[in-house]
Amino acid sequence: MACTHTMSTLIEINNLTRQFGDHCAVDDVSFSLNKGEVLGFLGPNGAGKSTTMKMICGNLTPTVGEIKINGYDMLEQPKLAKAELGFLPEIPPVYPDLTVDEFLGYCAKLHGLRKNSVKKAVTRGKLKCGLTDMGQRLIGNLSKGYQQRVGIAQAILHNPSVIILDEPTVGLDPIQILEIRELIRELGNEHSVILSTHILPEVQQSCSRVQIIHHGKLVLNESIEGLSQRMKSTRLTVRFHEHPDEDALKNLADVTGLEKLGQGKYRVHHHQDTPVSDTVARLAVTNNWGLLELTPEKHDLEHIFLSTTQQSTINE
């Protein structure tokens, strides 16, 4: 019996755990994904990312936990759940000796589309992926960027609720990368998308939410807006020729802490959205401390990724 799912939540993952003997590859992971969200799924090698993706796709059974795709339970209703998924592996599963139309028609049949729906689905898939004029071209003669588009087209032929893309821009040139990123954003308007990638700028450009997994545990689950707030400078590196009055620095408005780094260098912590550079500079000039350096410390996504994974290692 079909499951009527009225909510916008298309993926529900609850307490997902996977053991390989004594090794726990995925440890009690839970998250959900709504329609219209593009989730960037990050993690170092061996973190449990691939294992999690395999379980979501139904290729690996969890030791413990629940996976629902558009309301269908992956363990209890695997055929219905998998029918709601579209998947593009890192290496697109395309056949170079077929034309784009032949390959997409073949994939539409594999997805279980009825004969009278195949042509319409292929036309829609080509239109969404910018392949309208490529139907009669042999896939083997296409650039890697267009082969990637064909791979994405096969994943969306059956209009799935959830699309999973594994490293979709690896090996593409800068123009192709921009085009695929734009396509991913467009797909996110009508579907839920999980984007597994090692390319951090990809996440900032394409995703609405970010998750980081490390040693099998989710160590970050944040919106792009929240990450943008984290990336704002909340620290200032300063260096003086003369020894400063440390109490005077600590007591400045909006300063939350002071670290002594040695050789006249300090790290000043301050509230977000309240830069204190001008205040520190004026104080140094007034007191003749000889200001040699004043640098806001920026947090990019790479810094957040490294600090999050390193901190989770320390806490274990």
Same fold, 9-229 and 233-298: no
Class of domain 233-298: alpha beta
SS (H, E, C) 58-73: CCCCCCEEEEEECCEE
Structure-block tokens of residue 44: 């170092």
pLDDT digits (tens, 9 = 90+) for 231-275: 665 788 999 999 999 999 999 988 988 999 999 999 998 887 777
Task: For the chain, 316 residues long, give each residue's pLDDT as a single digit of tens.
Answer: 444 444 589 999 999 999 999 999 999 999 999 998 999 998 888 889 889 999 999 999 999 999 999 999 999 999 999 999 999 988 888 999 999 999 999 999 999 999 999 999 999 999 999 999 999 999 999 999 999 999 999 999 999 999 999 888 888 888 888 888 899 988 888 899 999 887 777 888 889 999 999 999 998 888 888 777 666 657 889 999 999 999 999 999 889 889 999 999 999 988 877 778 999 999 999 999 999 999 987 666 667 777 777 665 545 5
Residue 120 CA to chain centroid, in angstroms? 31
CATH class given for the domain over 9-229: alpha beta
- 114, amino acid identity: R
Residue 29: HSE in the Cβ half-sphere, 13 Å Cα cutoff: 35
Domain ranges of the chain: 9-229, 233-298
pLDDT of residue 8: 85
Q: Return the pLDDT at 88.
A: 92
What was the pLDDT predicted at 222?
86
Beta-carbon contacts of 123 under 8 Å, excluding residues fewer than 6 positions away, are: none
